[in-house]
Chains A and B, each alone.
Chain A
Amino acid sequence: METIRFLLGTVLIAAGLLIFIIEILGNYRFSYVLSRMQAASIGDSFGIALCLLGAMFYFGWSLACLKLIFVEIFLWFSSPVSSHLVAKLEADTNEDLGSCVEMLDMTEPSAKEEDDPCNT
């Protein structure tokens, strides 16, 4: 049982590290900052989850395992907030955003008409 746990933990941590390596490659592969952030978010969400899951297998069912579950929950709640703030900063300060990335408006026409003060 110990061996299976050790092997599972090792495989999961190795998979997490592989995700982090892909994340680093993505940072060099993409040129625009928001696309680079997408590459970085791979490790933030899934890479770290795999590493923590691997560590949970090492510890087994214990309070340390529960601590790691809480760490994962806190990370998944806090990481998107910082990503959102950096993305918002880029969108607010880049005056030439339209030329860097395509813009697509998918808001429903009916909703826009209701909000339009000129629409009487």
Chain B
Amino acid sequence: MYLFLLALWIIFNGRITLEIVLLGVVLAAAVFAFMCRFMDYSIGKEKNILMLAGLIGRYALVLIVEVIKSTLGACRFILVPGANPQPLICRFTTPLQTDQARALLANSITLTPGTITVSLENGEYTVHCLDRSMAEGLSDSRFVQLLLRMEEVTR
């Protein structure tokens, strides 16, 4: 998060000079200290995120691929007159343990066209799917497998 804040400061400034970078280092440290004190952030958690960088990158790639595939699938239902989707609301559980992983999965499902997370309570997902075919394999998707690996690394 510290590096993210620093990058944000530099990007919003629009140019890179020594004084902008030094001021950014100080300000990002101050904001990060505030977040550690009041918002449940810590240096240990930041180290965990750095350890997960590779998996996070893979997760982002999988998400982009899934968004493209689902977009094409949803476009087919819109553009082909004979293709009538069978919408349904399905409930399923996953083996994910942490709230962060569950929330990330819920966000990814909603971001993927054709599926929207309606609710997430005690690890049970309620998801609206545009068609029955989109509900298949939701509980053991590649997202879930990657998130389980992330949980193993940080455990």
Interface residues on B, range: 35 or more
Enumerate chain B residues within 8 angstroms of A46, measured Cβ to Cβ: 67-68, 71, 113
Q: Assess A84 versus B118: contact at CB under 8 Å? Given A26-B78, A101-B128, A106-B135.
A: yes
Contacts known (A104-B90, A107-B124); A87 close to B118, Cβ less than 8 A: yes
What would 5 A/B residue contacts be, using CB atoms closer than 8 Å? A38-B128, A38-B130, A41-B113, A46-B113, A76-B111
B13-45 toward A: CB 8 Å interface, digit per residue (1/0)?
A: 011100000000000000000000000000000
Q: State whether the Cβ of B133 lies closer than 8 Å to any Cβ in chain A.
A: no
Q: Is B85's beta carbon under 8 Å from chain A?
A: yes
Bound CA span A22–B75, Å: 7
Chain B 80-117 interface 0/1 with A at a Cβ cutoff of 8 Å (1 = within) = 00000111111111000000000000111011111111
User: Is B89 in contact with A104, judged by CB distance below 8 angstroms?
Assistant: yes
**Majority secondary structure, A binding face:** helix
In the complex formed, the residue of A with least CB distance to B71 is A46
User: Which among A41, A49, A76 has the highest number of chain B CB atoms within 10 Å?
Assistant: A41
Provide the A90-110 mask, 1 if CB < 8 A to any CB of B, else 0: 110000010001111111100
- List the 7 closest pairs (A to B, CB-CB), nearest first: A80-B110, A102-B88, A26-B78, A106-B92, A104-B90, A38-B130, A46-B71
Cβ-defined partner of B87 (8 Å) among A19, A34, A90, A105: A34
Q: Name A's B-contacting residues (CB within 8 A).
A: 19, 22, 25-26, 29-30, 32, 34-35, 37-39, 41-42, 45-46, 49, 63, 66-67, 70, 76-77, 79-81, 83-84, 87-88, 90-91, 97, 101-108, 111
Contact of B75 among A42, A45, A49, A87 (CB under 8 A): A42
How many angstroms from the CA of A32 to the CA of B128 in the assembled complex?
Answer: 12
Contact yes or no, A77 B107, CB < 8 A: yes
Distance between B9 CB and nearest chain A CB, rounded to angstroms: 12
